[in-house]
A = this chain, B = another copy of it.
Amino acid sequence: MRVPKKERQRLLQETIEHNPFIKDEELSKQFSVSIQTIRLDRMELKIPEVRERIKHVASEHLDEVKSLSMSEVIGDMIDLKLDDSAISVLDIEKEHVFSRNEIARGHVLFAQANSLAVALINDELALTTKADIRFSRQVHLGERVVAKARVLKLRGDGRTDVTVESYVGEECVFDGDFTIYRRSEEEQA
């Protein structure tokens, strides 16, 4: 359980890095050393106390605007008819663009379209199996992208063809054909 100092300090650094909220007491238990040893280690490694660490994380937060919530549908869903059609809106902000030229990254538009296509499916599980996509015009910082998804065909075998077209104003900026797999419980990515 007990590791040599160098190794412990390496692990300590890692541990704190990935969980800045951890207290000395917990650390001392984790490494089976006294709390004082942990404090000495922190001193040597110049790692501040837990409150300072938390404060730091929090203040970084303040600088940043909203980030991409990769985890949920990207954009705001404004209309949804299951197994039929759906619309979502995404305002292009600076976390979506290349800093050099302020043009939206391809996977942002893809993410909006893909999320929408998946959300459209009226089933427990829906996963994209295939997509053919085209980016027809660049999208700039500040523009509003409206994605429209429509079910083309509900096949018997669990696959559904969905087409998505994304617009900035009147202009089509992206379109794609998706094949989405649905199932009650398992498989396919």
Residue numbers of A with Cβ under 8 A of B are 20-21, 51, 54-55, 57-62, 64-71, 74, 95-96, 98, 100-101, 103-111, 114-115, 118, 124-125, 127-139, 173-174, 185-189
Nearest opposing residue in chain B for A112, CB measure: B107
Query: Does A128 lie within 8 Å of B106, measured CB to CB?
Result: yes
Kindly list 11 other residue pairs between chains A and B, CB separation below 8 angstroms, not including A67-B67, A106-B131.
A58-B61, A64-B67, A100-B124, A101-B125, A101-B186, A103-B127, A104-B189, A106-B114, A137-B188, A138-B187, A138-B188
Nearest opposing residue in chain B for A61, CB measure: B61
Specify the main secondary structure of chain A where it touches its partner.
mixed
CA A74 to CA B106, docked complex, whole Å: 13
CA A98 to CA B136, docked complex, whole Å: 30
Number of copies: 2
5 smallest beta-carbon distances between A and B, as pairs: A138-B189, A106-B128, A61-B61, A58-B58, A107-B111
Most buried by B among A61, A98, A189: A189
Contacts of A98 on B, CB cut-off 8 Å?
Answer: 125
CA A115 to CA B104, docked complex, whole Å: 12
Contacts of A64 on B, CB cut-off 8 Å?
Answer: 61, 64, 66-69
Nearest opposing residue in chain B for A131, CB measure: B133
CA A115 to CA B138, docked complex, whole Å: 16
Expressed in whole angstroms, the minimum distance between the Cβ of A26 and any Cβ of chain B is 15
Query: Does A58 lie within 8 Å of B67, measured CB to CB?
Result: no
Expressed in whole angstroms, the minimum distance between the Cβ of A107 and any Cβ of chain B is 4
CA A145 to CA B96, docked complex, whole Å: 23
Given contacts A58-B58, A130-B134, contact A107 B107 (CB under 8 A): yes
